[in-house]
Amino acid sequence: MALIVPSILSADFTRLGEQVKAVAEAGADRIQVDVMDGHFVPNISIGTLGVEAVRRSTTLPIEAHLMITDPARYVDDFLRAGANVIIAHREVLPDPRPLLNYIRQHGAKAGLAISPETPATAVADYLDDADLILVMTVHPGFGGQALIPECLTKVTQIRQMLTQRGLTRDIEVDGGIHEGTAVQAVVAGANVLVAGSAIYNDRETPQQAMQKLRALIGH
């Protein structure tokens, strides 16, 4: 059993509310908003306005994946916008603990993300401070990329670290997750799957895409 978290990055923004409701009705567990600043990643996407729009469209938890260089500067804004989970990147946090603590103290779940080039050991000291570890399975910045298989090794390493310490935490994978990669991600130890282009594409409806993924990974 794993959670499915559609990312709106590939949604049709001319009808974002409809697209969010479609996956919510099809059993999505959370909605991810990919926030990009054009500095930490080469792309610029959406900010708090995106979270506010999703907040108006569903009661599901919203996770703000902050692919930005200065997450601490914007956490309050995303909390006010309605984010329930705030994920920041290890690569921009010499010491993630203060920010993770701040997010938790302000009523949201705290996530720590690692990009493909960052080893699993980079989060080893912070497993107790985060509610989830997000292992990027593509280089952050764009949807529709192919999963980098080597990243799944880090999922297994982190799951082993958690088990050794008696910790239960979500391990989330994000990037290139679809019907051909979902099961291997779960087998590697992930229990939260983010999917953007696998859910929002021109081959099928979001509901159909959700049902296909759910059939593969169970309830």
> Which sequence positions are flagged as catalytic?
34, 174
Using CB under 6 A as the binding rule, whether residue 201 contacts ligand DX5 is answered as: no
Q: What number of chain residues touch ligand DX5 (CB under 6 A)?
A: 23
Query: Measured on CA atoms in the order 195, 198, 201, 207, is the torsion positive or negative?
Result: negative
- Closer to ligand DX5 by Cβ: residue 6 or 96: 6
Beta bridge partners, 109, equal: 85
CA atoms of 162 and 160, how far apart (whole Å): 5
Point out which span in 73-81, 91-99, 125-133, 195-203 binds ligand DX5 (CB under 6 A): 195-203
Amino acid at 74: Y
Query: Measured on CA atoms in the order 177, 180, 182, 184, is the torsion positive or negative?
Result: negative
Site for ligand DX5 in 131-150 (CB under 6 A): 138, 140-145
- Closer to ligand DX5 by Cβ: residue 97 or 207: 207
- For the CB of residue 128, give the shortest distance to ligand DX5 in the complex, in Å: 25
Using CB under 6 A as the binding rule, whether residue 7 contacts ligand DX5 is answered as: yes
Half-sphere exposure for 109 (CA within 13 Å, toward CB): 15
Point out which span in 11-19, 76-84, 96-104, 169-177 binds ligand DX5 (CB under 6 A): 169-177
Using CB under 6 A as the binding rule, whether residue 10 contacts ligand DX5 is answered as: yes
Q: Backbone dihedral region of 82: left (phi > 0), alpha (psi from -120 to 50 degrees) or beta? A: left
CA atoms of 75 and 203, how far apart (whole Å): 36
Do 152 and 133 contact (CB within 8 A), yes or no?
A: no
Using CB under 6 A as the binding rule, whether residue 46 contacts ligand DX5 is answered as: no
- Closer to ligand DX5 by Cβ: residue 97 or 179: 179
What residues contact 55, with CB distance under 8 A and at least 6 apart?
62, 81, 82
Contact letters for ligand DX5, residues 63-102 (x by CB under 6 A): --x-x-----------------------------------
The contact set with ligand DX5 (CB under 6 A) reads 7, 9-10, 32, 34, 65, 67, 138, 140-145, 174-177, 194-198
